[in-house]
């Protein structure tokens, strides 16, 4: 199922482009046919990144998990704040895939597979990979590959996007469909040279150290990958686009020795994120329960909270809500503001048909930290389940003002309007979700339906919807140029 979905998304003729709740009219694709031998200007690189991000959204198992998104974005932006040559904001996201992999592409987009978190031994290892990918972007390695492309006659936006996505999302599928010259040209953009890898290692380690992490863990992670190559017939996905000669591991280890040694305390957030990934994305719930029960039993750690947290998730996912609550409440009592715990407790309460209680608990937290995605989205979801639609609508609208591209928030708003019977708002919100997947013609159809539910006296609303309808149709024409 996953493979057919990916191949359909990668080989389809429609590339996806995201839209905020108000469609943008300044969307212009870069003309690569005449400028592929030049380094992409920043504005064109960002546009190309947006096109690719939308293809990922529509054709891959993107993780929509506010807790993990909050964690990985916080970690990534901490590294970006300590990197050189940052030209634009970065976006960090996750793919539900058990392979050890991470990738970066145009416009500051950095993605990681859930398997990378599950297989990292500590936060410094995970940060070393993110720092390395950030360096690929800041040093503009992908853009520079365009400059060195010898034969760009077949190089198109579609070719670049298809080739890159084939390897970063589903390496096996990617290797199977590398027949078209456009796909091969696109693939070459992501397969970094040894020189680029050395440069990314150097800048990435400096970023890692500046951000307060242990630089020796960069070598430890590469050693882990190197060991996997020795005992596996197929190399980890990460190595398909990141060459790993023996000299590179030793070079990274020697470079780390130039930095002052650091003793880094274990990160509770990292351990919690790893437990969440194992419970939700690596194992089924029964196997996860057995795993965490075994880890708790044999662990010599004084602090086993992250293991208990993972066990609570595995029980919740089996609908054993009373058992999950018994484990989670002591954790929440110790750390009442912990976002990992609050998220799971909200799900427990909703599963127990106690959504009103979840709303009461989250009201205070949301007021103290407005627009935090974990709190705001859990608060809105609880309010929807409790049929407190005014609270949910206000919360989601405020959140989307701050983050207009947030897909999960858009989907919750659509659910809200469907439940409260606001037909015009429902069709408009549904159109916004479809536009985020690049389905602009379908989005236009939903706007037409919204117009059918607007009162004749609501002239301002009708005018706005007609303008939105025109914008969606124009954006479809832009995509057709591909």
Catalytic residue status for 65: no
Neighbours of 466 (CB within 10 A): 13
Please tell me which residue in 133, 295, 415, 428 is annotated as part of the active site: 133
109 is in an annotated binding site: no
The answer to whether 132 is annotated as binding is yes
Instruction: Give yes or no: 393 in active site.
Output: no
Q: Is 192 among the annotated ligand-binding positions?
A: no
Q: What is the C-alpha separation between 344 and 316, in angstroms, rounded?
A: 8
Annotated catalytic residue within 65, 201, 343, 415: 201
Catalytic residue numbers read: 133, 201
Residues annotated as binding site for Zn(2+)? 132, 136, 197
Residues annotated as binding site? 132, 136, 197
């Amino acid at each position: 199922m996953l493979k057919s979905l990916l191949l359909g998304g990668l080989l389809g003729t429609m590339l996806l482009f995201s839209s905020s709740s108000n469609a943008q009219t300044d969307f212009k694709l870069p003309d690569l046919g005449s400028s592929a031998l030049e380094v992409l200007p920043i504005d064109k690189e960002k546009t190309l990144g947006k096109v690719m991000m939308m293809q990922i959204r529509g054709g891959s198992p993107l993780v929509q998990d506010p807790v993990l998104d909050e964690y990985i974005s916080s970690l990534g932006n901490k590294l970006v704040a300590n990197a050189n040559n940052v030209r634009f904001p970065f976006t960090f996201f996750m793919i539900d895939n058990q392979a050890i992999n991470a990738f970066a592409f145009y416009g500051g987009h950095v993605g990681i597979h859930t398997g990378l978190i599950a297989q990292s031994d500590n936060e410094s290892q995970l940060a070393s990979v993110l720092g390395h990918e950030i360096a690929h972007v800041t040093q503009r390695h992908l853009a520079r590959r365009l400059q060195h492309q010898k034969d760009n006659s077949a190089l198109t936006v579609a070719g670049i996007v298809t080739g890159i996505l084939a390897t970063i999302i589903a390496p096996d599928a990617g290797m199977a469909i590398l027949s078209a010259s456009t796909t091969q040209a696109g693939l070459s953009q992501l397969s970094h040279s040894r020189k680029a890898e050395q440069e990314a290692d150097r800048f990435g380690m400096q970023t890692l150290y500046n951000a307060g992490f242990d630089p020796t863990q960069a070598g430890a992670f590469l050693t882990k990958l190197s060991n996997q190559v020795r005992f596996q017939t197929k190399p980890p996905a990460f190595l398909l686009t990141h060459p790993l000669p023996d000299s590179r591991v030793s070079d990274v280890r020697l470079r780390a020795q130039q930095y002052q040694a650091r003793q880094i305390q274990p990160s509770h957030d990292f351990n919690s994120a790893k437990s969440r990934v194992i419970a939700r994305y690596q194992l089924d719930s029964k196997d996860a329960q057995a795993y965490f029960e075994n880890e708790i039993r044999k662990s010599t750690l004084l602090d086993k909270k992250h293991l208990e947290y993972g066990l609570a998730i595995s029980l919740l996912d089996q609908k054993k809500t009373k058992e999950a609550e018994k484990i989670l409440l002591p954790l929440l009592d110790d750390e009442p503001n912990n976002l990992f715990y609050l998220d799971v407790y909200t799900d427990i309460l909703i599963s127990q048909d106690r959504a009103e209680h979840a709303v009461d608990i989250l009201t205070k937290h949301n007021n103290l930290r407005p627009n935090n995605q974990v709190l705001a989205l859990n608060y809105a979801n609880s309010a929807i389940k409790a049929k407190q639609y005014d609270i949910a609508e206000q919360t989601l609208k405020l959140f989307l003002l701050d983050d207009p591209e947030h897909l999960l928030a858009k989907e919750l708003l659509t659910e809200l309007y469907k439940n409260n019977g606001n037909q015009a708002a429902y069709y408009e919100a549904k159109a916004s979700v479809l536009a985020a997947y690049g389905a602009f013609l379908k989005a236009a159809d939903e706007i037409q339906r919204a117009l059918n539910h607007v009162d004749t006296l609501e002239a301002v609303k009708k005018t706005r919807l007609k303008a939105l309808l025109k914008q969606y149709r124009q954006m479809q024409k832009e995509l057709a140029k591909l």
